Amino acid sequence: MKRQWRLVLLLLGAAALACPARAQQPPPPASAAAKPKPAPKPAPKPAAAKPAAPAAAAAAAVAGGAQPKLLGQFGTWGAYSASPGGKKICFAIAKPTSSETNPPNRPRNPIFMFISSRPADKVSNEVSVVIGYPFKPGSDAAAQIGSTSFALYTQQDGAWIKNAADEAHMVDAMRSADTAVVRGVSVKGTRSTDTYTLKGVAQALDRTAQECK
């Protein structure tokens, strides 16, 4: 069940993060649109089309073709809802504001943090991280929130809190802290440090709680 929802969240996250990127692209200049002559170069739209493709593919891969619906943007945190397979899910999601690797500049896939609720499964505010690389097998990751460190267990490119009893405490800490710093080790031994700003997370969680009561 956890693995199934990891895939669903990954796909929804890819779609959620791709859609705002496309929306923020500036419209073409008015002067270009006003040219009466057919342009010798066809107006290329790869910049707009490329983000849409991963989003569409991700949404199509989720059961029922569930498209995430933006409920609100609060700082770097977006609040979303979707109904994959007919089961409603609400989640807050953000990308890190800074990322470092040691050795430096190692390539990684998209990185993001989820806080999700699934009423049908009686799951509320489950924290998960997609790290952008396969974790070293058997290794733990860690999330530093304020002065408290939370151990995360890892599977493939995902991480969840190791002690489920601490999850509510972790979410409460996120509501009042300024940053969350996630550290992990890849299968190749690369160490990563990702810093998330927590400004707006409380409002995003309030909005998802309202939507997924």
Check which CATH number belongs to the domain holding 171 and give it.
2.60.40.1880
Average pLDDT over the chain, rounded to an integer? 79
Beta strands in the chain (DSSP E): 69-74, 77-82, 89-94, 98-102, 112-118, 123-130, 140-145, 148-155, 158-161, 179-185, 191-197
Interval 148-203: pLDDT, tens: 999 999 999 999 999 999 999 999 999 999 999 999 999 999 999 999 999 999 99
23/7 Cα distance (integer angstroms): 25
Domain that holds residue 45: 2-211
Q: Which has the higher per-residue pLDDT, 85 or 149?
A: 149
What pLDDT is attached to residue 142? 97
What pLDDT is attached to residue 63? 39
Q: Which has the higher per-residue pLDDT, 207 or 3?
A: 207
Q: What is the pTM of this model?
A: 0.74
Interval 118-130: pLDDT, tens: 999 899 999 999 9
- Look at residue 131 and tell me whether its pLDDT is greater than 80: yes
> Starting at the edge strand that comes first in sequence, how are the strands of the sheet with 179-185 ordered?
69-74, 77-82, 89-94, 112-118, 123-130, 158-161, 148-155, 140-145, 179-185, 191-197, 98-102
Domain count, the chain: 1
